Chain A
Amino acid sequence: MAPCSVRMAPATTDLPRPFRPRVTALAMNALHRVLDRRNPLWYAVAVLLLKMAPLYRLFTAVEHLVKGQLFGCRMCGQCALPVTAYACPMTCPKQLRNGPCGGVGVDGSCEVYPGMRCVWLIAYERADAEGRIQDMRRLQRPIDQRKWGQSSWVNYWLGEDEGLWTSEADIEHEPLLLSSSAGPRS
Chain B
Amino acid sequence: MIDRRNSAWHPAHSHLQAVLQRGRFAVTAEIGPPRGANIAPIRRKARLLRDWVDAANVTDSQSAVVRMPSWAGCLVAMQEGVEPVMQLQCRDRNRIALQSDLLGAAALEIPNVLLLTGDHPRFGDHPDAKPVFDLDSIQLIWTARTMREQRKLLSGRNLKPAPDWFIGAVENPFAPPLNWRAERLGKKIAAGAQFCQTQFIFDVKIFEQFMAQVRDLGLDKRCFILAGVGPIKSLRALEHMSREVPGMYVPDQVVRRLRGVPEDRVGAEGLALCTEILGQVKNIPGVAGVHVMAVNWEDAIPEILERAGVGPRRKPATAVVQRS
A binding-site residues for B, Cβ under 8 Å: 1, 3-4, 93-106, 108, 111-112, 118, 121, 124-125, 133, 136-137, 139-142, 145, 170-178, 180, 182-185
**20 CB < 8 A contacts A-B:** A93-B120, A94-B91, A95-B136, A98-B136, A99-B180, A101-B247, A102-B175, A103-B172, A104-B175, A106-B176, A121-B176, A133-B180, A136-B183, A137-B187, A171-B186, A174-B190, A176-B150, A177-B142, A178-B156, A185-B156
* Interface size range on B against A: 35 or more
- Chain B residues with CB under 8 A of A145: 134
A142-B95, A178-B154, A184-B157 are known contacts. Are A104 and B176 too (CB-CB below 8 A)? yes
Partner of A103 from the list B133, B136, B186, B246 (CB cut-off 8 Å) is: B246
A176–B145 alpha-carbon span in the complex (Å): 9
- Chain B residues with CB under 8 A of A184: 155-157
Chain A CB within 8 A of B289 CB: no
Nearest CB of chain B from residue A1's CB, rounded to whole Å:
7
Contact yes or no, B249 A106, CB < 8 A: yes
- Chain B residues with CB under 8 A of A112: 120, 122
A118-B176, A139-B191, A173-B1 are known contacts. Are A94 and B133 too (CB-CB below 8 A)? yes
A101-B117, A139-B187 are known contacts. Are A183 and B95 too (CB-CB below 8 A)? no
A177–B141 alpha-carbon span in the complex (Å): 10
- Chain A residues with CB under 8 A of B297: none
B binding-site residues for A, Cβ under 8 Å: 1-2, 4, 91, 95, 117, 119-120, 122-123, 125, 127-128, 131, 133-139, 142-143, 145-146, 150, 152, 154-157, 170-172, 174-177, 180, 183-184, 186-187, 190-192, 199, 244, 246-247, 249
Contact yes or no, A177 B133, CB < 8 A: no
Contact yes or no, B177 A100, CB < 8 A: yes
A93–B127 alpha-carbon span in the complex (Å): 13
Give chain A's interface secondary structure class: loop
Given A94-B131, A103-B246, A142-B135, 13 new contacts (CB under 8 A): A4-B127, A101-B117, A103-B119, A103-B247, A105-B175, A111-B119, A137-B187, A139-B187, A174-B145, A175-B190, A177-B145, A184-B155, A185-B156
